[in-house]
Chain A
Amino acid sequence: DQQVKQNSPSLSVQEGRISILNCDYTNSMFDYFLWYKKYPAEGPTFLISISSIKDKNEDGRFTVFLNKSAKHLSLHIVPSQPGDSAVYFCAAKTGANSKLTFGKGITLSVRP
C-alpha cells in the first residue's frame, strides 16, 4: 500500500520556466511533509518542508504548497535551472517519532 504517491515518473522543463512537482498521499494522519533532492551516486539532500498547519512554505526559488482536503502537495521551482536536474522525493510522517514514508520519486530534467 503506497501511502505517498508521485505518479509522474519524470518531468522536463525549459530553463527559466516553472517546474511543478506533484505528490499525493492517502494517510490523513500525516502531519509533516518534506521534499528531498537526489543526484546520481549521492545521498538525498533535504530541500524544503511543510507542517500540516500551513498551506505554503517558501525558501528562495522553492515553494511547497499543501492542500490537506485534497491530500496533495506540490513543489514549485521558479525559475528552473539546469542544476535542478535531479530526482525529487516527496516524504511524509505522522508525528515527531514516526518514520518517514517516501514516494517513488520524480526525475526532473531542466533543458538549457
Chain B
Amino acid sequence: DTEVTQTPKHLVMGMTNKKSLKCEQHMGHRAMYWYKQKAKKPPELMFVYSYEKLSINESVPSRFSPECPNSSLLNLHLHALQPEDSALYLCASSQGGTGGGKLFFGSGTQLSVL
C-alpha cells in the first residue's frame, strides 16, 4: 500500500463552521505533513509531525489546528476560517526525518470557505 488517503475530497464550509480534514497512510512512514496549495502556486508547508510529535509549524494561524492521533493518522481541525483560506489542502508522508525528501502526497481536500 503506497497510498496516502485524504477525506473528504471536497469541503464547503461557512466562516463559523468547525470541520476536520483527515489523512491516513499505512506505509509505516514516521513523518506526516500538511501543505496548502493555491491555484498556480507551489505547495506551502503548514505543519510537520515527526514520530507523532509536532516538529514544524510554519507560523500558521491558530484557526488551523493539527492533530496526530497515531503514526498512521493526521487530522487538520478547521475553525472560523476566512474566504482566503480556500485552497487545496494536501497531506503527505515520508519515511523519516522532519524535512521531506521523497514525499508521498494524498489527492488533497479542495476546501471552499464561503
- Using a CB–CB distance below 8 Å, which chain A residues touch chain B? 32, 34, 36, 41-46, 49, 89, 91, 93, 95-100, 102-105
Contact = CB atoms under 8 A, between A and B. Distances in A.
Contact of B108 (A32, A41, A95): A41
A46 B4 CA distance: 13
Interface in B51-86: 56
Contacts of B41: 104-105
Interface of B: 4, 6, 40-43, 45, 48, 56, 88, 90-92, 97-108, 110
A102 B101 contact: no
5 contacts: A43-B108, A44-B43, A93-B100, A99-B98, A102-B42
Contacts of A104: 40-42
A25 to B, nearest CB: 13
B105 A93 contact: no
Given A103-B42, A104-B42, A43 B4 contact: yes
A31 to B, nearest CB: 11
Contacts of B92: 43
A89 B105 CA distance: 13
